[in-house]
Chains A and B, each alone.
Chain A
Amino acid sequence: MTVFLNIVIGIFEEGLMYALLALGMYISYSVLDFPDLSVDGTFPLGAVLTGVLILNGVDPWLCLVISFAAGMLAGMLTGIMNVKLGIIPLLCGIIMYTAMLSVNLVLIKTGTDGMAIASFFTKNTIFNSSLAALIPKNIGGFALRTVIISFLIVIVCKILLDLYFKTKSGLLLRATGDNERYTTMLGKNPGTVKIFGLMLGNGFAALAGSVIAQNKGSADQQMGTGMVVLGLASVIIGISLFKRVRFMEGTTMVILGSLIYKASYQIVLTLGIPTEWNNFVKAAIFLIALVLGGKQAGELFKKLFKKNKKNSDREGKNALTE
């Protein structure tokens, strides 16, 4: 039982941390309708930057802010490539990602005197200093500190994002993703709005990188591999599963999507698949999510859902008559 609960805690830890990435990809992919591959580069940017900064004695909480800002800068470049130079979104992402491979490596090398990995196991992170020290390490025999901190960060981000989407600027961002023409007719440059949206999205990706690196105690370029797949899978799982739930915010959907993704990944791993197949499993889950989230399966889902609904309605009536 304890083993099982520890696995569940592990799922929540990782699912919540990666939910930050999912929030970022939700902005670029879902709100803005921009398939942004550059997160494979901006996620490790946040991680590497955090590693280097912590090694140089910078406050771990401040690292989150700096990572977010660095991610925004990278997102701005992706946006400028698309908007000002007219390069299609997929290629912008690939160019950005390729360039970031070098940038991240240079960051580590200069920050660690020539190493390829920034290790800071012994240093203070957001999970073992200041605010974290207020939370007991063990609650009822379980190590819940990491989950609690991740949860707090995700909730703060979610609330801020929800509030932002209700502002004039946020509404204009949603409108631009929906119908660029509309933004133009409002006398605003849709390109500028798009660039800002990509800045936000990549800011969150870098923030996720920072948080995850701080949990791991180390950071390297490799961390970025497969982040697009992971983030998109979370977004698609969340939105396709919960889109019929009224009044649920998109942000809530993708956070749940991230948890479900991590859970299903964990379930597959516990079946005893060798670790070299990990990325294959990720790809497979993404494929399944895409198919299930697609139109055909969406219709299938709808039918299943309706049937269930009818049944439950009937049951409800029976319960009433009984």
Chain B
Amino acid sequence: MLSLNNIQKVFNAGTVDENKLFTDFNLTVNDSEFVAIVGSNGSGKTTLLNMVCGTSRPDSGSIIFNGRDITALPEYKRAKRIGRVLQDPKMGTCASLTILENLALADNKNKRYGLSRAVNNKRRDYYRTLLETCNMGLENRLGVPAGSLSGGQRQALALIIATMTDIDLLILDEHTAALDPKSSETLMEITRRVVEEKKYTTLMVTHNLRFAVNYGTRLLMMHEGNAVMDISGEEKKKLVVDDILGKFNEISIECGN
């Protein structure tokens, strides 16, 4: 279980650009919940994820994860139990390493990176079956540098990497935003399958209202550091885009979008 308690976060404190993003923000996410987060620009969606992952710290308040206070824990230590896919396809993989090397590195997560051989040929078949599940033909391109893949392929690879080892929390930060519509659809389907299969607790930020409505078990709409809409359970299942479009337009117009 993940909970954020009394979070306060101010940007550019003490300057004319001071922005009190979160004043007293609270959120509790239960195990195996798949939360889709939408919201206007600057509403705090990405900051929220960054605070959970440790990329940025709240000014006050606490973050409790699996019964442990992780507020002061550095990012790389939290990452041991968190899988993360970012918006930029370049970020989730290493361009100069081959697909095989990328997977071999990720396969070793939470173990020692010592002087034994990195690529274990016995694992090749396992990597192939993992890649086959995306239907992108990646399984036959193990020796290709990740940098030569398309954005959609790189994000699919990043998702596989993020979910390869045992994790408790999956963070998807607009992971389909840089892709074309077709690739986004494919990636969302892969995401749904992985999350359902492994029952990950998932936080997904998206700009696509349809994705937010069609995927996940809970929907959160953020605006100026508050959750202005929080729908889960049966209500979430019945939800259609039109139900949230009105509210979404309202907050977007307010910001001048």
Q: List residues of chain A with CB under 8 Å of any chain B CB.
A: 164, 166-172, 174-175, 178-179, 181-190
Q: A168-B116, A184-B79 are in contact. List 20 more A-B contacts (CB 8 A).
A: A166-B117, A167-B115, A168-B108, A168-B115, A168-B117, A168-B118, A169-B114, A170-B118, A171-B118, A174-B94, A174-B97, A178-B94, A178-B95, A179-B91, A179-B93, A183-B76, A185-B83, A185-B162, A186-B79, A187-B76
How far is A181 from B108 in the complex, measured between Cα atoms in Å? Answer: 16
Interface CB pairs A-B, < 8 A, 22: A166-B118, A167-B114, A168-B112, A168-B114, A168-B115, A168-B117, A169-B114, A171-B105, A171-B118, A172-B113, A174-B97, A175-B97, A178-B94, A178-B97, A179-B90, A179-B91, A182-B92, A182-B93, A182-B105, A184-B75, A186-B106, A187-B110
Most buried by A among B79, B84, B119: B79
User: Which residues of B lie under 8 Å from residue A164 when comparing CB positions?
Assistant: 115
What distance in Å separates the Cβ of A245 from its nearest Cβ neighbour in chain B? 15
Q: In the complex, which of the residues A168, A170, A178, A181 contacts B86, with contact meaning CB atoms closer than 8 Å?
A: A181
Q: Which residue of B lies closest to A176 (CB)?
A: B94
Cβ contacts under 8 Å, A182 to chain B: 91-94, 105
Residue of chain A at shortest CB distance from B95:
A178
Given the complex, which residues of A lie within 8 Å of B222, measured CB to CB? Answer: none
| List of B residues within 8 angstroms of A189 by Cβ | 74, 76
Chain B contact residues, CB within 8 Å of chain A: 74-77, 79-80, 83-84, 86, 90-97, 101, 104-106, 108-110, 112-119, 162
CB distance from B103 to the nearest CB of A (A): 11
Q: Is the interface of B mostly helix, strand, loop or mixed?
A: loop
- Nearest chain B CB to A33's CB is how many angstroms away? 11
Chain A hits for B75, CB < 8 A: 184
Contact (Cβ within 8 A) B84 A185: yes
CA distance in complex: A187, B92 (Å): 13
B118 in contact with A167 (CB, 8 Å): yes
4 nearest A-B pairs in the assembled complex, by CB-CB distance: A187-B80, A171-B118, A168-B113, A178-B94
Shortest CB distance B96–A (Å): 5
Which of B74, B92, B110, B113 has its CB near the most chain A CB atoms (within 10 A)? B113
Contacts of A174 in B (CB 8 A): 94, 96-97
Q: How far is the CA of A190 from the CA of B104 in the complex (A)?
A: 18
- A183 — which chain B residues lie within 8 A by C-beta? 76
Instruction: Give the CA-CA distance A185 to B55 in the complex, in Å.
Output: 11
B105 touches A186 (CB 8 A): yes
Inter-chain contacts of B106 with A (CB < 8 A): 186
Q: A171-B101, A174-B94, A181-B91 are in contact. Are A187 and B79 (CB under 8 A)?
A: yes
In the bound complex, residues from chain B placing their C-beta under 8 Å from that of A179 are 90-91, 93-95
Q: Report B32 CB to chain A, min CB distance, Å.
A: 22
Minimum Cβ distance to chain B for residue A26 (Å): 14
In the complex, what's the smallest C-beta–C-beta distance from A42 to chain B, in angstroms?
24
Chain A residues closer than 8 Å to B105, beta-carbon distance: 168, 171-172, 175, 182, 186
Name the distance in Å between B179's Cβ and chain A's nearest Cβ. 19
A178 to B76, CA, bound (A): 17
- Min Cβ gap A197→B in Å is 13
Complex contact A187–B113 (CB within 8 A): no
Q: How far is the CA of A174 from the CA of B146 in the complex (A)?
A: 13
Interface pair A178/B114, CB less than 8 Å apart: no
Which residues of A sit under 8 angstroms from B94, Cβ to Cβ? 174-175, 178-179, 182
- Verify A167–B116 contact, CB threshold 8 A: yes
Write the nearest CB–CB distance from B90 to chain A, whole angstroms: 7
The closest CB in chain A to the CB of B84 belongs to A185
Contacts of A178 in B (CB 8 A): 94-97
Least distance between A228 CB and chain B CB atoms (Å): 24
Known: A186-B106, A187-B109. A171 touches B97 (CB 8 A): yes
Q: How far is the CB of A306 from chain B (nearest CB, A)?
A: 18
Q: How far is the CB of B86 from chain A (nearest CB, A)?
A: 7
Minimum Cβ distance to chain A for residue B225 (Å): 25
- On whether the beta carbons of B80 and A169 are closer than 8 Å, the reply is no
B residues in contact with A184, CB < 8 Å: 75-76, 79
| A112 and B250 alpha carbons, distance in the complex (Å) | 81
On whether the beta carbons of B117 and A167 are closer than 8 Å, the reply is: yes
